[in-house]
Amino acid sequence: MTTVLIADDQPMQRFGFRMLLESQDDMTVVGEAGTGTEAVGLVARHHPDVVLMDIRMPGLDGIEATRRIITSGARTRILIVTTFDLDEYAYDGLRAGASGFLVKDALPEELLAGIRAVAAGDAVVAPTLTRRLLDAYVHHLPATPGAPAAADPRITALTEREREILTVIGQGWSNTEIATRLHLAESTVKTHVTRILAKTGARDRVQAVILAYDTRLVTPM
C-alpha cells in the first residue's frame, strides 16, 4: 500500500486529489497540509511514501518544504505538482530533492502512474522534458568556471564507463537508447545506473541529470 500526503493550499484541490487516490486499492491518503510547514510536520509524523507537493503555498513554500524533508533524511519521495510544465520554480524543486513534477491538470491516470513510479524509486519527469527544463533555467546552476568536471568529488569514484553513462543520462537518453547506442545489454545499463546512483548519492534519475549539469558533464545546447 502506497501512503500519500497531499500538500496544497487549495482545499478543493486537496479534496480532488484525495477522492482520486482513495479510489485506488493500492493507495491511501495519510494526511493533508495547507502550508509547507504543515507538510514538514506531517511527514515527520506519518512517514508517507510520497508527498504531492504544491509549489506556491503561504509561509513556507513547497520548495523549501521539499528541501527540509529531504535534508531531514526522510525516505519520503516528493512529487511536485505545478500549474505550468516549465514553471521556473519546478527546477528549484528538483534541485531541492524532488523526484519529479507533474502539472496539476495532468490526466488522472498520469497522476496515479506518477505516484506509483515515485513510490517505486523511479523519476516521473521524462528525461527529454528534464533536459528542456534544465536548459531553460541553466542560470540557476552554480557558477564554477574553469573547474574540470572530473575533479568534482561527487563523480571521482565513477569508472570511465559510468561517467560516460551519466553524461548521456544528462543528455536525455533512456536506458534503451543507451543500450542500443553503446552496444550494451539493457540489464547491464540498469546495473550501471544503479551503481551511479549509489556512488554519487543521487536519489533517482532526475537527480542524476542535475548532477550531470552541476559537474558540467553536460552543458546546455
Digit-coded pLDDT (tens) for 77-119: 999 887 765 556 767 788 888 888 888 888 899 899 889 988 8
Q: Provide the pLDDT for residue 120.
A: 81
Q: Provide the pLDDT for residue 185.
A: 95
What cell does 135 get? Answer: 536548459
Low-confidence ranges of the chain (pLDDT < 50): 126, 146
Q: Provide the pLDDT for residue 179.
A: 94
Q: Which long-range contacts (CB under 8 A, 24 or more apart) does 153-160 make?
A: 154/200, 154/201, 154/211, 154/214, 154/215, 155/200, 155/211, 155/215, 155/217, 157/199, 157/200, 158/196, 158/199, 158/200
Q: Provide the pLDDT for residue 41.
A: 97
Q: Provide the pLDDT for residue 218.
A: 82
Mean pLDDT of the chain: 85
Q: Provide the pLDDT for residue 141.
A: 56
Neighbouring residues of 26: CB distance < 8 A, sequence distance ≥ 6: 1, 2, 116
